[in-house]
């Protein structure tokens, strides 16, 4: 029985295979349809390029600004933690180049950094608690920028040099 089925399958004509193998090539209409579909897809992808470039540039600006912002917060935190350093309350403005070099180099982005130090009003029972607010913007593209606030308290363990006479908590 198995041999009879195998003989039948080997000798049977396969019409579907015959149709697929009988073609000599693609017609001109098929080529034009393929070219048209490919062109439409490429044009659609090219239309997305400017949006992708803008998104990438914005991400670059925000990424560099966040690095500057957190470095400024950390520097201020380190100064405030030490009770031996006299802290001046108020707002300071600075211009920072994205390369962090003293002079601008080609392709640098100019950031404006605003740092505000204020006595924390919510902690009336504790002396030496400071609110640090940093805002980093990159005008004219983004005049609002990004900002972050941190609450820092002076701590004796960070006294440097050891044994210094802290004049005032702030």
The rounded average pLDDT for each run of 10 residues, N- to C-terminus, in the chain (170 residues) is 64 56 72 92 90 91 92 92 87 86 80 91 70 92 91 84 62
Look at residue 10 and tell me if it is in a domain: no
CATH number at residue 101: 3.30.1300.30
Q: pLDDT at position 116, please?
A: 95
Look at residue 57 and tell me if it is in a domain: yes
Q: pLDDT at position 155, please?
A: 84
Helices (H), the chain: 2-11, 15-21, 28-81
Q: pLDDT at position 66, please?
A: 93
Look at residue 170 and tell me if it is in a domain: no
Look at residue 17 and tell me if it is in a domain: no
Strand, coil or helix: 145: strand
Q: pLDDT at position 157, please?
A: 82
Look at residue 165 and tell me if it is in a domain: no
């Amino acid at each position: 029985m198995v041999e009879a089925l195998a003989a039948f399958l080997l000798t049977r004509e396969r019409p579907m295979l015959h149709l697929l193998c009988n073609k000599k090539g693609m017609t001109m209409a098929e080529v034009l349809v393929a070219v048209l579909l490919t062109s439409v897809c490429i044009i659609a992808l090219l239309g997305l390029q400017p949006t992708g470039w803008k998104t990438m540039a914005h991400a670059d600006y925000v990424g560099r600004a966040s690095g500057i912002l957190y470095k400024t917060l950390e520097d201020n935190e380190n100064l405030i933690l030490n009770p031996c350093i006299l802290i001046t309350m108020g707002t300071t403005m600075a211009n920072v180049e994205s390369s962090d070099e003293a002079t601008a180099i080609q392709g640098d982005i100019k950031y404006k950094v605003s740092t505000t130090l204020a006595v924390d009003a919510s902690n009336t029972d504790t002396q030496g608690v400071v609110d640090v607010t940093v805002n980093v913007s990159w005008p004219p593209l983004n005049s609002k920028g990004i900002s972050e606030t941190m609450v820092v308290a002076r701590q004796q363990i960070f006294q440097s040099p050891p044994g210094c006479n802290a004049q005032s908590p702030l």
